[in-house]
Amino acid sequence: MADPKARLEQMLSKLRDHKFRITPQRLAILKILASSDGHPSVDTIFEKVKRDFPTTSLATVYKTIALLTELNEVLQLGFPEGSNRYDGNKPYPHPHMICMRCKKIVDPDLIGLEGLTDEVSRKTGYRILAHRLDFFGLCPECQKEENPQ
Amino acid sequence: MADPKARLEQMLSKLRDHKFRITPQRLAILKILASSDGHPSVDTIFEKVKRDFPTTSLATVYKTIALLTELNEVLQLGFPEGSNRYDGNKPYPHPHMICMRCKKIVDPDLIGLEGLTDEVSRKTGYRILAHRLDFFGLCPECQKEENPQ
DNA sequence: CTTCATGCAAAACATTTGCAGCTGG
DNA sequence: CCAGCTGCAAATGTTTTGCATGAAG
C-alpha cells in the first residue's frame, strides 16, 4: 500500500483544487479510503466511519465516494452479485485477484498487460481509455481448506 | 458468431441432460441467446421474447438466464452502472471491447492472455478458475463523432 | 452570510422470491 | 398424472434523490 498520509493529502488537495468543502464526514471517509488495503465495500466504510463520526449517514458515504470516483481518486469495482468495492489507494485500472471462497481481493504485479492493451487497440481500432481485469480463483489458504487431507 | 442452430442444439441438450423441461418460453429465450451477437441485456431479451411469445414474464427470463448461467451455457457480464449483459455464444471467459459512447460490445481475438493467467497464478499462488477482461474506450465510429472536423 | 453538504426518508433500479395455477413429458 | 415451470405481485438489496436543516469558508 502507498503511504496513507500521502494519499490522504493527495485526495484533500484534489478536493480543495475543485473548491469542494472538507467536512469532518468527508475527512473521515477519505482517511479510511486512503489507508484501507482490502478494497472495502460501502458498508464496510460506513461501519468504520461511524466509529470516528457516529452521526454520518449512508447517503453521505455514497455521495463522497461518487465525488471521489468522479475526481479519479477512487476506483470503483462493481460485481454482479452484490455491492461495489472501492480502491482508494490505486485509483487507476489494475488487475485484481479475487478469492471466490473468502472474497479477499489482492493486487498482483503483472508485466505484459500493457502489451495486451496495445494489441487490442491495434487489432480493433478502438481508442482504449480504461480497462478492468479480474482473476477469480482460490487463494493459497482457501486451497488448503478445500482439500484438507 | 458460431452457428446459431448448433448453439441452440447444444443448449437444448444441456437442459435435457439435466432433466430440465423445454417449455415454449425457454425455447424462445434460448433461440435469442443462441443467435444474438451483441451481448444483450435482460430487457433486450425480454422485448424480443415478447414478439415470439407475448405472455412471457420478466421473471421467467431472469429464471431461464440464471439456469443457463448455472449450466455454463451463458456468460453473465455485470456492470456497475446498470443492468447485466449476457453472452450466449461464447459462454466462457473472454475479453470484451466496450465502447463508452455507443455501448457496443465486441469480442477481440487476443493472443497473450493465457500467458498473463500463468504469470499471475505463478506469482500469487492462487488457483485461477475464471477471469474477466474488459477494455473501455471509443470504437472507430464514435471516435469520428467525437472529433467531427 | 451564502452556498454547499448533511441526514433523513422516500424513490428508483435491477433482480429475486413466494405461491397458486398450469403443463410438459 | 404430478414435479417442475410460469406469471404475477410483493420483497429485496443497493444506490440515488428531494428537501429541510446545518455548517464550512
Entry field: residues in chain B: 149
Q: Please give the domain boundaries of chain A with CATH numbers for all domains.
A: 4-87 (1.10.10.10), 96-146 (3.30.1490.190)
Q: Enumerate residues 6+ apart whose C-beta is below 8 A from A119.
A: B110, B111, B112
Q: What's the mean pLDDT in A35-61? A: 94
User: What's the pLDDT score for residue A148?
Assistant: 58
Kindly determine whether residue A125 and residue B140, on different chains, have CB atoms separated by under 8 Å: yes
Per-residue pLDDT reduced to its tens digit, A78-136: 988 777 999 999 999 999 999 988 888 899 988 888 888 999 999 999 999 999 999 99
To 5 degrees, how large is the angle CA A112–CA A114–CA A119? 100
Q: Is the dihedral of CA A35, A39, A42, A47 positive or negative?
A: negative
Helix (H, G, I), strand (E, B) or coil at B14: helix
pLDDT score for B149: 46
Nucleotide nearest to B25 (CA to C1'): D6
Nearest CA in chain A to B93: A135
DSSP, res A41: B
pLDDT at A104: 84
C-alpha cell at A58: 449512508
Three-class secondary structure of residue B52 per DSSP: helix
Shortest distance, CA A117 to any CA of chain B (angstroms): 8
Give the pLDDT of residue A56.
96
- CA of A41, C1' of D21: distance in angstroms: 29
How many residue contacts between A and B have a Cβ separation below 8 Å? 119
d(CA B97, CA A128): 9
Nearest one of A104, A87, A109, A85 to A35, comparing CA atoms: A87
Mean pLDDT of chain A: 92
Looking at beta carbons, which residues of chain B come within 8 Å of A126? 97, 99, 135, 137-140
Task: DSSP for B56-69, please give it.
Answer: --HHHHHHHHHHHH
Contact B143 A127 (CB under 8 A): yes
Residue A108's contacts (CB-CB under 8 Å, 6 or more residues apart) are A95, A96, A97, A135, B120, B123, B124
> Are A131 and B134 within 8 A, CB to CB?
yes
Cα angle, residue A139 at apex, residues A97 and B131 outer, rounded to 5°: 35
Residue at the smallest CA–C1' distance to nucleotide C9: A59
pLDDT value at A58 more than 90? yes
Q: Is the pLDDT of residue A5 over 60?
A: yes
Residues of A in Cβ contact (< 8 Å) with B62: none
Q: Is the CB of A70 under 7 A from strand D?
A: no
pLDDT greater than 60 at residue A28: yes
What is the tens place of the pLDDT at every residue in B31-69? 999 998 889 999 999 999 999 899 999 999 999 999 999
Taken in order A86, B75, A141, A106, is the CA torsion positive or negative?
negative
Residue B24: its pLDDT value, please?
97
Looking at residues A32-36, what average pLDDT do you find? 95
The pLDDT score that the predictor gives to residue B128 is 95
How sure is the predictor about A1, in pLDDT bands with cuts at 50, 70 and 90? low
Sheet-wide strand order for A127-138: A105-106, A96-99, A127-138, B127-138, B96-99, B105-106
Q: Which chain B residues are closer than 8 Å to A109 by Cβ? A: 123
Q: In whole angstroms, give the CA distance from residue B106 to residue B84.
A: 15
**For every one of its 149 residues, what pLDDT tens digit does chain B have, with 9 covering 90 and above?**
678 899 999 999 999 999 999 999 999 999 999 998 889 999 999 999 999 899 999 999 999 999 999 999 999 999 877 789 999 999 999 999 999 888 888 999 888 888 889 999 999 999 999 999 999 999 999 999 876 54
- The pTM assigned to this predicted structure is 0.89
What pLDDT does B7 receive? 97
